[in-house]
Amino acid sequence: MKEIDQLVQAFLLQPVTPEATWQFEKAIENRLHELGRSTLEVVYNRLEADTPDELPKHVQLDGHEYSRKNEKTNNRAGIGTVFGKIPLVRYSYEPLSEARDDNQKSFSPLELSLGIVAGNASPALAERVGRAASGHTQRELLELLQREHRVRWSAKVLRQVTAAVSGGVAEYLHQAQKEQLLAWLRVADASKGRRKITLAVGRDGIMLPIRNEKTYKEGAVATVTVYDRHGRRWGTMYLGQMPEAYQTTLSEELTRLVTELLEQWDGCWPRLAYLTDAGYHPTEYFDNVLSQMEHPRHPAD
């Protein structure tokens, strides 16, 4: 705080100009980042016992046995946080013979307790990465991490973190999608206008280059959109799947989402629409799935 006070006093003693203001704000930003980074470093490294005897010699994890190392070691890459990278010195447990035979790796109880993602990111930074990954290329995201969070990662580490975040939220994704669509339907249903509210499902394919493949492969994308009585779009839910034979995964996810959404919707029945370019998979999906669905309020229809 003393350094920040010095920056404030220096700013107040000079003529106020756009350049001076910019320099002042950047200096304050850098000091606050360093204050946050150093605070996290001190706090996180104080959490674990100083002597190994305070921790059990052997533990079990997921049915495998592990043995504690007698000395703390550094997380080699450091832990990325929203304030920058910090070193983390912790005890770790190595797999015993059967676990080694099963290709299990050593682990750190402290990292598990802190929720360190893929051995590289704090929960807060991992959340930022997960949100930003959907709207940035890999290079853009790496540059953003370095610029905004002072974290320099390789492309490999970034992929590991994004994959871990994706896997972590996967089991909650369907419920969150459904709840958001229901919320949009409620808002649309409360709107005024002459039209019926609309639930529009869209589906298409996208050709993707695949590493070590000579030709592009077709991925699958789908949308579920809610429109109000004025025809205004309230929101769109996006689904996607990498190339897969018959696009089975996307079909199953989309069918489950639409089916449960309509089953749980208790407002005015929406106009249902299906939007495609009449490609093979979108057309097959309509013929074999959507057109065969029963009306949840009138099963015989």
Q: What is the pLDDT of residues 266-301, one digit of tens each?
A: 999 999 999 999 999 999 999 999 999 988 888 766
pLDDT at 301: 61
Count of alpha carbons within 13 Å of 231, Cβ hemisphere only? 2
Looking at every residue in the chain, the average pLDDT score rounds to 94
Q: Which of 176, 194, 213, 199 is nearest to 296 (CA)?
A: 199
Return d(Cα 41, Cα 167) in angstroms, integer. Answer: 27
pLDDT at 33: 94
Q: Report the predicted TM-score, pTM, of the whole model to 2 decimal places.
A: 0.80
Return d(Cα 236, Cα 191) in angstroms, integer. Answer: 17
pLDDT in tens, the chain (301 residues): 788 999 999 999 999 999 999 999 999 999 999 999 999 999 999 999 999 999 999 999 988 899 999 999 999 889 999 999 999 999 999 999 877 777 888 999 999 999 999 999 999 999 999 999 988 999 999 999 999 999 999 999 999 999 999 999 999 999 999 999 999 999 999 999 999 999 999 999 999 999 899 999 999 999 999 999 999 999 999 999 999 999 999 999 999 999 999 999 999 999 999 999 999 999 999 999 999 998 888 876 6
pLDDT at 97: 81
Q: What is the pLDDT of residues 19-67, one digit of tens each?
A: 999 999 999 999 999 999 999 999 999 999 999 999 999 999 988 899 9
